[in-house]
Amino acid sequence: MSAPKIILYTNRVCPWAHRAHIVLQELGLPFEEVTIDLDTPREPWYLEVNPRGLVPSLSYNNEIITESGIVAQFLADAHPSHLVPPSNTPEGALQRARIAFFVDTYSSKVSPHYNTALRGVTVEERKAAGEALVAAIKKEIEPLLYPGLEGKTHGPFFGGSEKLTLVEVLLGSFLIRLHAFAKEEYDLLDAGLSQSLAEVKNFSRWAEATREHPSVKTIFPEKAAAAKTKSKLASVRK
């Protein structure tokens, strides 16, 4: 079977586009990368590719697929691997449901606090939002990471996997930014957030393994992403 012709329209600063890079690298699929300038109006040719003008967009054998979660799921389904089990067995379908629930939990219960923390203007606002973020992780995420594996040897990724799963594909770009933006040099999040997160045992292990994985960290432009985030926040506040 010949390799598919893949073109990824992306911008490496964007965490949503980062998802597509992670899954493509994890699957070992060759692709052409086309960078889209997100600071200027989209060119007419790109609006023909994706009328919404967003990234990522994926051309797969000339079929266009958009929206990062859909792109990641499509590639994982089209190229069976360790990322996600097939859905044609009860066990596979159940694991897919667990993956979907975990990602939804992080997106709905944790991400809003992260966004609030980034938008905080004062030290007090950032600290309060950071505390709420850590509390949400302890309550919602910590118990779901390694259910039934307490006291047993297991891998660091979701469900005790030794390899990346679709969970890390979909959340890795946000985990790596959470860690990076908590550094004092960027002045984006509360200075004590990193230490508070390090004390959440399961989350800390999972997040560190994810953000240090080559498929996640290789293309992350940390300084550019931090600068872009600060610029966007300044614009919003005006």
**Two tokens at 94?**
């159940």
Query: d(Cα 217, Cα 205) in Å, to the nearest integer?
Result: 16
CATH architecture label of 6-78: 3-Layer(aba) Sandwich (3.40)
Query: d(Cα 169, Cα 103) in Å, to the nearest integer?
Result: 10
Q: What is the pLDDT of residue 234?
A: 83
Contact (Cβ atoms closer than 8 angstroms) between residue 68 and residue 75: no
Contact (Cβ atoms closer than 8 angstroms) between residue 118 and residue 189: yes
Query: d(Cα 187, Cα 49) in Å, to the nearest integer?
Result: 37
> What is the pLDDT tens value at each position of the chain, 238 positions in all?
578 999 999 999 999 999 999 999 999 999 999 999 999 999 999 999 999 999 999 999 999 999 999 999 999 999 999 999 999 999 999 999 999 999 999 999 999 999 999 999 999 999 999 999 999 999 999 999 999 998 899 999 999 999 999 999 999 999 999 999 999 999 999 989 999 999 999 999 999 999 999 999 999 999 999 999 999 898 776 5
Query: d(Cα 238, Cα 93) in Å, to the nearest integer?
Result: 47
Q: Which residue ranges make up each domain of the chain?
A: 6-78, 90-237
The answer regarding whether domain 90-237 maps to CATH 1.20.1050.10 reads yes
How much is the pTM?
0.96
Query: d(Cα 209, Cα 159) in Å, to the nearest integer?
Result: 13
Q: What is the pLDDT of residue 1?
A: 59
Q: 58 - beta bridge partners?
A: 8, 65
